[in-house]
Structure 1
Amino acid sequence: MEREMGGSMIACIADNIISPMGLTTEENFSSVSKGMNMLRNHEDTFGLPEAFCASMLDRELISGLFADHALSDNEYTFFEKLCILSATDAISSCALQAECEDVIFVISTTKGNVDMLETEPDCPGCRLAFSAEKIARYFGNSNTPVVTSNACVSGVCAQIAAIRLLLGEKYRYAVVIGCDVLSRFIISGFQSFKALSPEPCRPFDKERKGLNLGEAAGTMILENIGGTNVYGNGSLWEFAACSNHNDANHISGPSRTGEGAFRVLKDILEKIDRDDIAFVNLHGTATPYNDEMESIALHRSGLEDLPANGFKGYFGHTLGAAGIIETILSMKAVETGVIPATKGYGTKGTTYGISASSATRETYRNTFIKILSGFGGSNAGIAYRRRNVPPCATFRKGGEA
């Protein structure tokens, strides 16, 4: 995507994450900082004969939160509840009037209410557009929402779609929500691929056995703030660059040469300052081929020695939420001056080096890159820059130069 922005600046002004690790962004980032995860073995779940390791939300807790909002528990599915609760927190934090005409809702999900197909194959609720309409209308917004459903890259694609809409100046704000919940259909599908690890996953590690799945919802509120240099509370996250490529390699397997991911990184690197990149947040699913492909893409991009990390060892693979929550967590990491550890990583398990670490590291840089790769050869990436300090400036903790 060409960055022909004119005088426009697209900024992230609010966010939220709901996962088994916490109900707010702050709670989730704190849990990551403490090295926690909620990946557990689940037996006799969804009527499946085989146990699986995943991070799953408490259904009763979410229903209780809905009761606190005086919402009808039967009117919305579990997926829709999570989207609404996450968006409510983010919208409240910036006092956005979500019903206004200059607000557009963008929903990222790979499966939505796919579990309803088992009992109600013709019901409207199975359609992603139907759920997106319900979510937007809950907030009184009458605009037709946008849905992105492009395998694992959906969360980054949703951000890119929102940014394009904002640059078109039809809307000033975009409420970007990413969410997926687990079901018999989803778990059994990944089991059929033999892709699931029976224990907490180990991204990029020599002994990795596959991925874990996870449930989460995340919301980013993006604003076209024009060319202003007013950074709110001293900090502003500005969109810097993005790219999509599909290498059309295989229905489920990534390119063995990392072609699509390499092209995404190449596009992004043309538009940002390499010397200001704190880290690359990778997809890091802990499957043999994905991790290997990402190592090749980093090597081809000349980023082999740049710090990198992955969040799947904390949350599992959260599907349509991954691109949203991992972008938000990367923002919080840079704000805190850290590169979060890659939980589960120990010994290099890829042909080329990935500068991942099992320990938290410090950083004083202000830009990060988030990349994802998914089924069908899809690849997407996005970069954000923190604009409360000059690019490449070196600051110590506490603000002392």
Structure 2
Amino acid sequence: MEHRVKTYLTADTILSALGFSTEENLEAVRAYRTGLGLINDTTIYDQPFIGAKIDRKRLQEQIEEAGLDSYTTLEQLFLLAISQVIYQSGIDPADPDCLLILSTTKGNINCLEAEGLAEEAYLSVMAERIANYFRMTHTPLVLSTACISGVSSLIVASRLIRNGNYKHIIVAGGDLLTRFVATGFQSFKSVSPAVCLPYDERRDGLSLGEACAALLVTSDRSRVKEAIPILLKGGGISNDANHISGPSRTGDGLHLAMEQALRESHLEANEISMVNAHGTATPYNDEMESKAIHLSHLDHIPLNSLKPYWGHTLGASGILETIACMYQLREGEVYGTLGYESTNVSYPLQVSAQHQTVASMRHCLKTASGFGGSNAALVLSVAEETEDTDGLVPIETEVIRNCLIRQGKIWVDNQLRFSIDEGDDFPTFIRKAYKDLALDDRKFYKMDDLCKLGYIATAYLLEGKEISDQYQPEEIGLILSNKAASLDTDLKHQQEIDSKGDAGASPAIFVYTLPNVVMGELAIRYKIKGENTFFVSGNDPEAFLRHYASLAMQSQQMRACVTGWCELLGSAYEARFEWIERK
């Protein structure tokens, strides 16, 4: 029998350029103050640029007070933020009913600046250090799905709670403004020379920022101290299946995620009170969002982007901006999009530079989009005491086919399908495997090695299977995991800027410094538009991936899913993929 459960969002904190608490941050937003300013720091970029940087002097004071000197800067921020969540909610982090989920794109990426590959550069190691500090029972989850990581983490947390796996999940997102990140975005010519202007006709690029934000997702009403409780009602995750770095020209991928979130929330578009969009202020992103919002019949709803206050904080942005949405719902106010004057997107949006009071605010739709064609959306609602959120019972699935790649050999359904001579390196192996399949895809040779591994594993997995004839694009999902994330290509980007200087960063390399881009390439190749979520784990989480796939397939009404482990670093590689279908 399906159980009924509410998923509350509570006990939040924000550490950013605007302050060291949610209250301090939102006080600045209400006063129209931005954390963005001129950064003249050659350890981040060799030219001055506009960005948002956390006050290191204030941070050091808190670190010393908490005794956190043995941790990296990002770990310190996570520890401070999570400590606040625990203090506010009163939960015991060691409780077996409690889990930690971290959202980040690059983690301790500044560790690459030292000689060799430091252990802390692994996202799973960083997460375990944080979980061990709080003596948590369960191994933490790490999501690294580009700029949708924060929103996706909240959706994942909600699904696990609705399924009854946990009662409390601490979700924390964080990323630092580093040389690695700044040079990469500058290589795309996507950084504005001024404070970003989302949706405005003068917009010319994004502004980068850094932050750490955390909150508690819980089914326990007694942990909610706020007078007006907020629920996470529903969510959706999708892929454009169009381009790994550029937004969709039609907006249909984001529209799909928004429709999924509304459907799961049992809401119509006209019931939404406000939209908090991704709004990076790049010409193509904001244009795409206007089309998606129009397709979803939301272009008459008050809408904002909060990037002019904090900048784009990457893995933190989805958590940080969701917290701001919670307070906007409670206050009955839509914060102004700082600097906005007039628009030139295809479908005019209800954007204002001024804070707007909205009567009877009940529901907020929050969206995010990112590299790899990824999109996510969730619905927040003011809780009604008589209202429940649907439980989530996993559907019955079966593994139809599997593929294993290891040490120059490829097995399909436990039968050896392809092998090479011992001693052949990965580039030789992958080229021979590609030729064995008689594929004709010019993009293959432009991919990084991690993407090539995932591409070939999926090609053997689906060999002879015309999935486009059997399924609609939104009926198929991609759920992958690995240990090294994108470190193999991260090292190449770091070597590039170390040898050629900041201006020598290559966009062709930087675009692959996110592990979820593997899924982006697969989505394009096979026209897959359903769920796409990338977990980073110290070990192959085969059982968890199957379980989560069954939840995602139920939540998003998918019929099939590719799940698996896709690990590559240097000369070591392994892929284990499965094709799963509903029974």
The reply to whether TM is greater than 0.5 is yes
SS at 2:14 equivalent: strand
Equivalent residue number for residue 394 of structure 1: none
Question: Aligned-pair distance for 1:8?
Answer: 1.2
Considering Cα pairs closer than 8 Å and 6+ residues apart, tell me whether 1 or 2 has the greater RCO: 1
Task: Tell me how far apart the structure 2 counterparts of residues 230 and 191 of structure 1 sit (CA, whole Å).
Answer: 43
Equivalent residue number for residue 247 of structure 1: 240
Question: Aligned-pair distance for 1:230?
Answer: 11
Question: Aligned-pair distance for 1:120?
Answer: 3.9
User: Contact between 1:234 and 1:388, CA under 8 Å: does it hold in 2?
Assistant: no
Task: Tell me how far apart the structure 1 counterparts of residues 313 and 224 of structure 2 sit (CA, whole Å).
Answer: 31
What is the 5 A alignment of 1:249-288?
A: 249-270=242-263, 271-288=266-283
2:228 paired with 1:235: yes
2:108 paired with 1:113: yes
Question: Aligned-pair distance for 1:236?
Answer: 1.4
Equivalent residue number for residue 332 of structure 1: 327
2:363 paired with 1:367: yes
Say which is worse superposed, 310-319 or 256-265, in terms of deviation.
Answer: 256-265
Ranges in structure 1 where 5+ consecutive residues have no aligned partner: 392-401
> Could you say which structure has the higher helix fraction?
2
User: Contact between 2:287 and 2:346, CA under 8 Å: does it hold in 1?
Assistant: yes
2:158 paired with 1:166: no
> In the TM superposition, what whole-angstrom CA distance separates every residue of 1:153-199 from its partner, at most 9, and x where no partner exists?
00011111111221232211000000000111100000000000011
User: Contact between 1:10 and 1:224, CA under 8 Å: does it hold in 2?
Assistant: yes
What is the 5 A alignment of 1:32-181?
A: 32-46=29-43, 48-71=45-68, 73=69, 75-181=70-176
User: Contact between 1:241 and 1:272, CA under 8 Å: does it hold in 2?
Assistant: no
Equivalent residue number for residue 319 of structure 1: 314
Question: Aligned-pair distance for 1:389?
Answer: 7.9
Identity %: 38
Q: 1:384 aligns with which of 365, 380, 388?
A: 380
2:311 partner letter: G
2:382 partner letter: R
> In the TM superposition, what whole-angstrom CA distance separates every residue of 1:37-63 from its partner, at most 9, and x where no partner exists?
021111243163222110001223212
Task: Tell me how far apart the structure 2 counterparts of residues 15 and 229 of structure 1 sit (CA, whole Å).
Answer: 16
Residues 256 and 327 of structure 1, relative CA distance in 2, 3 Å threshold = same
Number of residue pairs the alignment of both structures matches? 384
| Structure with the greater alpha carbon radius of gyration | 2
Question: Aligned-pair distance for 1:234?
Answer: 3.8
User: Contact between 2:269 and 2:297, CA under 8 Å: does it hold in 1?
Assistant: no
Equivalent residue number for residue 8 of structure 2: 11
User: Contact between 1:157 and 1:380, CA under 8 Å: does it hold in 2?
Assistant: yes
Task: Tell me how far apart the structure 1 counterparts of residues 226 and 233 of structure 2 sit (CA, whole Å).
Answer: 20
Task: Tell me how far apart the structure 2 counterparts of residues 185 and 346 of structure 1 sit (CA, whole Å).
Answer: 33
Task: Tell me how far apart the structure 2 counterparts of residues 155 and 381 of structure 1 sit (CA, whole Å).
Answer: 10
Task: Tell me how far apart the structure 2 counterparts of residues 52 and 259 of structure 1 sit (CA, whole Å).
Answer: 34
Question: Aligned-pair distance for 1:388?
Answer: 5.0
Task: Tell me how far apart the structure 1 counterparts of residues 345 and 8 of structure 2 sit (CA, whole Å).
Answer: 35
Question: Aligned-pair distance for 1:87?
Answer: 0.9
TM-score (norm 2): 0.64
User: Contact between 1:231 and 1:388, CA under 8 Å: does it hold in 2?
Assistant: no
2:199 paired with 1:204: yes
Say which is worse superposed, 122-131 or 55-64, in terms of deviation.
Answer: 55-64
> In the TM superposition, what whole-angstrom CA distance separates every residue of 1:83-138 from its partner, at most 9, and x where no partner exists?
11111112101111112111100000000011111214421100000010111111
2:376 partner letter: A
